[in-house]
Structure 1
Amino acid sequence: MLAEHLEGNIRFLSSVDSWEDGIQEAAAPLVDKGSITPGYIDDMIQSVNKNGPYIVIVPGIAMPHAKNEGSVVKTSVSYLKLEEPVMFPKENEVHTFFVLAAEDSTGHLDLISDLSSILMEDDIKNKLEEAKNEQEVLDVLKMVE
């Protein structure tokens, strides 16, 4: 399920200038495909500014998301892996972003719980961190689905 959502939405970059840029770059494939509007990126950034870096769910991995206020056209997920980590507020280093965009709160919670359970497993998390291209990321996720 997760692998399906991610296909074509996976990027690898050497670095970004800020955590805001990280969210923007991570969400870019979803904007390009019309799954979200640029407003959703603003909502995710505002959410961190307001609530702190709660989206850093496990060390090194952030899961940006926001409530759909009309900016999510289609439930979707994207992935960004950075070679150089970027700092979030409160000294949280992040090198991997999973952007979650859900049309409704049920889809939202399903995606978050699927992803959280995957990332709780060190073995899977390590394999994701070692992935060098889109196919390797998809293969890791398909193993656990």
Structure 2
Amino acid sequence: MKLNEEVIRVGQSASDWEEAVKQCGQLLIENGNVEARYVNAMVNTVHTLGPYIVIAPGVALPHARPEDGVLQQGICVCVLQKPVSFSPDKEAIVFIGLAAQNKVMHLNLLKAVAEVVGDSEKLAQLKKARTVREVQQLFEKGSG
């Protein structure tokens, strides 16, 4: 999966998970993937359902439903300087925002993410990424 540099941020600082999710959502807004209300829905989903979006150690996958304001499918990646905590046993340093227009697209995006996050070596590199290019290369390799 090819990611444009516009949807990647590295070295971000966030005071808490909510701020990190909002930064992630802002990238999706700026890239034309979602309406502003989608970002609020991403935050509310965690408040309602808990930190289920932490899908791997150190990785969160904030998203909401298509009807919450998805304009076109896409993902964004934010790598924080320091992890933020969702709960005592769940924290994340990498936030991968997801915008899908339907279930099929949702699964395709998840598959692309899983190819990176599911590989312990790539995951370690992603958490330590310091440049946009490093993040791009990890996702490009994943979609061989």
Is this contact kept in 2: 1:67–1:105, CA < 8 A?
A: no
Deviation of 1:141 (Å): 1.6
Q: Deviations over 1:56-109 (max 9, x none)?
A: 001110001111115010101111011111111343121110000011121012
SS of 1:69's partner is helix
SS of 2:124's partner is helix
After superposition, the Cα gap between the structure-2 partners of 1:90 and 1:48, relative to the gap in structure 1 and judged at 3 Å, is: farther
Among the aligned pairs, what percent are the same residue?
29
Deviation of 1:21 (Å): 0.6
Instruction: Kindly report structure 1 stretches of 4+ aligned residues shifted beyond 4 Å.
Output: none
1:95 alignment partner in structure 2: 93
2:22 alignment partner in structure 1: 24
Is this contact kept in 1: 2:6–2:31, CA < 8 A?
A: no
SS of 1:8's partner is helix
Aligned residues: 143
> Could you list the runs of 5+ residues in structure 2 that have no partner in the other structure?
none
Taking the aligned partners of 1:99 and 1:14, their CA distance within structure 2 comes to 14
Q: CA RMSD in A?
A: 1.5
SS of 2:52's partner is coil
Deviation of 1:12 (Å): 2.0
2:115 alignment partner in structure 1: 117
Is this contact kept in 1: 2:58–2:127, CA < 8 A?
A: no
2:73 alignment partner in structure 1: 75
Residue 66 (1) aligns with residue 64 (2): yes
Deviation of 1:28 (Å): 1.2
TM superposition score normalised by structure 1: 0.90
SS of 1:124's partner is helix
Taking the aligned partners of 1:18 and 1:108, their CA distance within structure 2 comes to 26
Moved more, 92-101 or 113-122: 113-122
> Could you list the runs of 5+ residues in structure 1 that have no partner in the other structure?
none
Is this contact kept in 2: 1:36–1:73, CA < 8 A?
A: yes
Taking the aligned partners of 1:109 and 1:27, their CA distance within structure 2 comes to 19
1:127 alignment partner in structure 2: 125
After the TM superposition, which residues 32-51 of structure 1 pair with which residues of structure 2 at under 5 Å, given as runs? 32-51=30-49
